[in-house]
Amino acid sequence: MPYAEFDEVRLHIRQAGSGPVALFVHGFPLDSSMWIDQLHALSEVRRCIAVDLRGFGRSSAVDGSPLRMEELANDLAGVLDLVSEERADIIGFSMGGYAALAFAEIYPKRMRTLALVDTRSGADSADGKAGRDAMAQKLVADGRAAIAELMQSGLLGPQASIAAQARLRTMIENCPYETIVGALGGMRDRTDRTEVLATIDVPTAVIVGQDDGVTPPAEAEAMAAAIGDATLTIVAESGHMSPIEQPAAVNDALLELFSRV
């Protein structure tokens, strides 16, 4: 089943393995291919499903209006309904982590475990919000390659391989303009979910690249401290994109998480 269709939305999904479902949620402006290394490694223990969120990858198009994190969380629940799974391991990277925290708030009983990877619980600052609008303006004025240029060095650590750089560039340059504008609006408007952390009652892994400048280790540490049953993994020699920069370390942390249930 390469697509999940419901409520007039068609989401492309990548699947590997069998067993309990683990749902992988990508970041901005990326797609499900960022999880390929995790799908290969974890398919022994889980039915891994990596979703292209609406507007991203090969999923149905969006119109550029703000993509709300709650709407993305509802889509994740829709995928679980379609594969007849009440609960899943939810793995959210960066913007996918914002959606995962919305999911944790709306559907707390549908999580078996939670992984928050290179993400944060807080909302954008005033400067951060202005930065979202400036990026949307730059995108429509100068094109996607200009955005990719800007983001490349911010997202990857100094040691990132040429292959990791290529994967990132492909994802960014394939992302539709309307999706980038919609996701920027949705992230700008998102709710601060720091208070949700204390309500999370499933085993949780907080994972962050040691050189992540977008969602720095100090924020990951604070999130892990606020969650009842959380471990913190700081991934050496990685920037923001730990799942593609250091896949083995991220896979090990997820395997450890899955062994806790």
Instruction: Please enumerate in sequence order all residues whose Cβ is within 8 A of that of 166, keeping only pairs 6 or more positions apart, or say none.
Output: none
Q: How far is the CB of 201 from ligand MLT (least distance, A)?
A: 26
In the numeric block, which tokens belong to residue 141? 């004025």
Q: How far is the CB of 168 from ligand MLT (least distance, A)?
A: 10
Return the number of the residue (38 or 258) whose C-beta is nearest ligand MLT: 38
Q: How far is the CB of 260 from ligand MLT (least distance, A)?
A: 26
- What is the contact surface with ligand MLT in residues (CB under 6 A)? 27-28, 94-95, 187, 214
Instruction: Please enumerate in sequence order all residues whose Cβ is within 8 A of that of 46, keeping only pairs 6 or more positions apart, or say none.
Output: 17, 19, 20, 21, 22, 89, 258
Q: In 3D, which of 36, 137, 133, 136 has the Cα closest to residue 93?
A: 36
Return the number of the residue (20 or 131) whose C-beta is nearest ligand MLT: 131
Return the number of the residue (95 or 196) whose C-beta is nearest ligand MLT: 95
Q: How far is the CB of 20 from ligand MLT (least distance, A)?
A: 26
Q: Which residue has the tokens 């650590």?
A: 157
Return the number of the residue (17 or 97) whose C-beta is nearest ligand MLT: 97
Q: In 3D, which of 183, 171, 255, 246 has the Cα closest to residue 212?
A: 246
